[in-house]
Amino acid sequence: MQNLGLGRWVATRARSAPHRVALVHGDRSWTYREMDARVTRLAHGLASLGVGRGDRVAWLGSNHPAFLETLFATSTLGAVLAPVNHRLAPSDVAWIVRDAGARALVGFGELLSMAPEVQARVAVLGAARGAVDYEELIGNAIDTPIEEPAGLDDLCMLPYTSGTTGRPKGVMLTHGNVTWNAINFLSVADVLSDDVTIAIAPFWRTGGTGVNVLPVLFMGGTVVVPTSSDADEILGLIERHGVTVGFAGPSLLEALVRSDRWPTAELSSVRFFVTGGAPVPERLIRTFLDRGVTFLPGYGLSEASGGLGIDLPGRSPRRMPEVAVPL
């Protein structure tokens, strides 16, 4: 059986469009060929730490290209990525990592101590006692292609959600769930192969990847990952890289409007922004519309791989719809 899941996405684009830029972060950028090589090496590196088919690899940190590389690397191995909300209390983080049965933990060095009992730890930024350096792990690994079969029914991601009435629950998303979510989104949102998106929403939330990041990568576009959640930086990146599509909830959108850069920010490249997570006030919608930014209000949940419905342009541009059009 072939690898029919996420593990083949980057490799496929590396063959068809090797020089197209896949990721941008700070002053660095990765083409699809470069990203494919790093993902393959990372997969070998994780395998050397004992990660194999079906094993859980937890991620702990804010948005960083390493998250996406780890997602594709675990998929290549037939393993499962479990994103963890690093903003939770250390005891809750430790519980989720333990409940997921994580064999390895990849994340920011200063956060790895929140789950000390994990067998293998990899530090992305900063050092951590007992942890392997992320770049050294990639640099020391081989780049031989990995032929690990994966079906659409195989488990791909294990995000944790809810917890309002108890402990968070792990949501079992298969390769088919994640892949069809991207395709369904593309069926109603006009994402193109030369689109550029910006990863504002947290990756540990299913919508942070499923709404704009994975669909853009599926099409062979570019994902800009900010180095922080600072509104000035985000607006600057939208200008500098000609961002065309995006996704954000009301609080993030409000932060952009309140930025000192907002009145003069160049937003002409933006075709649309998907919104979700909570109703967006009409005032905020009007503020973006006045700058020529089209909103596509959406609805989704982790159990549905991120997206269930989206409103189409022209239906109700001045207010959030009560019900979105199903994907």
Residue 305 near residue 210 (C-beta atoms within 8 A): yes
pLDDT at 276: 82
Strand partners, 56: 80, 102
pLDDT at 317: 47
Domain edges within the chain: 32-170, 175-326
Residue ranges of alpha helices (H) inside 199-321 are 206-210, 213-219, 231-241, 250-258, 282-290
pLDDT at 314: 56
- Residues 162, 186, 25, 133, Cα dihedral to 10°: 60
d(CA 28, CA 241): 13
Q: How far is CA 249 from CA 132, 149, 180, 201, 263, in A?
A: 35, 36, 23, 7, 20
Strand partners, 24: 29, 224
Mean pLDDT (whole number) for 220-243:
97
pLDDT at 318: 47
Q: Inform me whether the pLDDT recorded for 316 exceeds 60.
A: no
Domains 32-170 and 175-326 share a fold: yes
Q: Which two tokens stand for residue 206?
A: 């299913």
d(CA 130, CA 127): 9
Structure confidence by residue, pLDDT tens digits, 46-81: 999 999 999 999 999 999 999 999 999 999 999 999
pLDDT above 90 as % of the chain? 74
Residue ranges of alpha helices (H) inside 147-260 are 175-186, 206-210, 213-219, 231-241, 250-258
Mean pLDDT (whole number) for 26-41:
97
Residue with tokens 């990372």: 42
pLDDT band at 152 (very low <50, low <70, confident <90, very high): very high
- Which CATH number, 3.40.50.980, 1.20.1090.10, 3.40.50.150, 3.20.20.70, labels domain 32-170? 3.40.50.980
C-alpha 190: how far from its chain's center?
Answer: 19
d(CA 304, CA 154): 16
**Mean of per-residue pLDDT scores for the chain:** 91
Q: Inform me whether the pLDDT recorded for 10 exceeds 60.
A: yes
d(CA 249, CA 207): 10
pLDDT band at 247 (very low <50, low <70, confident <90, very high): very high
Nearest to 210 by CA among 157, 144, 168, 131: 157
**More confident: 149 or 312:** 149
Structure confidence by residue, pLDDT tens digits, 75-102: 999 999 999 999 999 999 999 999 999 9
Structure confidence by residue, pLDDT tens digits, 192-217: 999 999 999 999 999 999 999 999 99
User: What count of other Cβ atoms lies within 10 Å of the Cβ of residue 258?
Assistant: 9
Is the pTM higher than 0.75? The answer reads: yes
d(CA 129, CA 207): 32
**CATH class for the domain made up of 175-326:** alpha beta
Residue 131 near residue 121 (C-beta atoms within 8 A): yes
